[in-house]
């Protein structure tokens, strides 16, 4: 049974991935600062998803996380880093007004945690037996449109997203030839989804609730496609955006 680990525990992409991977026959773990939030408890109940407490910006906590997952679920063949990392106070701040401590914290939450997760995932996956298609594992980094383009009044976030993209590129060039598929997935969209009671949830208040927002269930499908790609035809970067998005 394949093991998947998702670092970041929101109700959008993380939850959709957890559900899809579990339905696809994987044993799934999700790590979050607060592993007791309702969405994660539901995932446990409905899909047997294992919950882990972890501050992904702390080296020791990431080490402990992978240790626990290995012991309890097995070594992951699929790891998703799905952390946005923006400190709220940095959002839409002009360069002259952005708080330096918040900028550094955003870098730590996002890019540095990606470094830690990617490093530990690589260490462990390299020990995996090669699968039938020769691959040892897949590491996916969720990213944002700021990875593609630094927008005004978001210097700290542009730093963090492009740092993560640079890490992913370097890791891909290093690890692909060792059998690990690393990919960067910028989501150029607001994310929205239908809740169990039929109402629509979405990250950005005030946005129209239609398919002009990325549906995390569909994002998860592309993540799974990336994991299933044969190593003769791997993809490094997939940008996902809704049909009506300007770019």
Interface of this chain with a second copy, residues 115 to 154, rule: CB under 8 A: 115-116, 118-119, 122-123, 126, 134-135, 146-147, 149-154
Interaction of residue 195 with a second copy, rule CB under 8 A: no
Question: Which class for 176: exposed (0-12), middle (13-18), buried (19 or more C-beta within 10 A)?
Answer: middle
Cβ of residue 55: shortest distance to a second copy, in angstroms?
13
In 3D space, the residue among 109, 107, 114, 5 whose CA is nearest the CA of residue 65 turns out to be 5
CB 4 within 8 A of CB 29: yes
Distance CA 177, CA 173 (A): 7
For the segment 206-235, give every residue that binds a second copy (CB under 8 A). Answer: 211-215, 218-219, 221-222, 225, 229-235
Can you read off the two tokens belonging to residue 201?
Answer: 């949830």
Can you read off the two tokens belonging to residue 27?
Answer: 């044993």
For the window 77-106, what string marks contact with a second copy as x by the rule CB under 8 A? -----------------xxx-x-xx-xx--
Cβ of residue 195: shortest distance to a second copy, in angstroms?
16
Interaction of residue 238 with a second copy, rule CB under 8 A: yes
CA dihedral of 27, 33, 38, 40, whole degrees rounded to 10? -10
| Stretch in the footprint of a second copy (CB under 8 A) among 25-33, 65-73, 80-88, 167-175 | 167-175
Cβ of residue 243: shortest distance to a second copy, in angstroms?
4
């Amino acid at each position: 049974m394949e093991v998947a680990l998702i670092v970041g525990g929101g109700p959008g992409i993380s939850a959709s991935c957890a559900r899809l991977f579990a339905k696809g026959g994987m044993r799934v773990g999700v790590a979050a600062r607060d592993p007791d939030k309702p969405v994660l408890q539901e995932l446990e109940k409905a899909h047997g998803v294992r919950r882990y407490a972890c501050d992904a910006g702390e080296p020791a906590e990431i080490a402990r996380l992978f240790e626990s997952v290995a012991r309890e679920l097995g070594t992951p063949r699929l790891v998703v880093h799905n952390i946005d990392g923006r400190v709220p106070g940095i959002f839409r701040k002009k360069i002259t007004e952005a708080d330096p401590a918040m900028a550094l914290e955003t870098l730590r939450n996002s890019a540095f945690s990606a470094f830690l997760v990617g490093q530990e995932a690589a260490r462990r996956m390299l020990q995996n037996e090669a699968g039938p298609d020769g691959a040892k594992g897949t590491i996916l980094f969720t990213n944002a449109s700021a990875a593609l383009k630094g927008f005004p009044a978001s210097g700290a976030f542009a730093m963090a997203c492009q740092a993560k993209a640079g890490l992913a590129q370097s890791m891909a060039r290093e690890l692909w030839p060792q059998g690990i598929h690393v990919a960067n997935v910028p989501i150029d969209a607001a994310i929205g989804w239908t809740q169990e009671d039929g109402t629509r949830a979405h990250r950005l208040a005030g946005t129209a609730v239609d398919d002009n927002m990325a549906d995390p269930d569909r994002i998860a499908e592309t993540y799974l496609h990336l994991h299933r790609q044969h190593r003769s035809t791997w993809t490094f970067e997939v940008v996902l955006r809704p049909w009506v998005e300007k770019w």
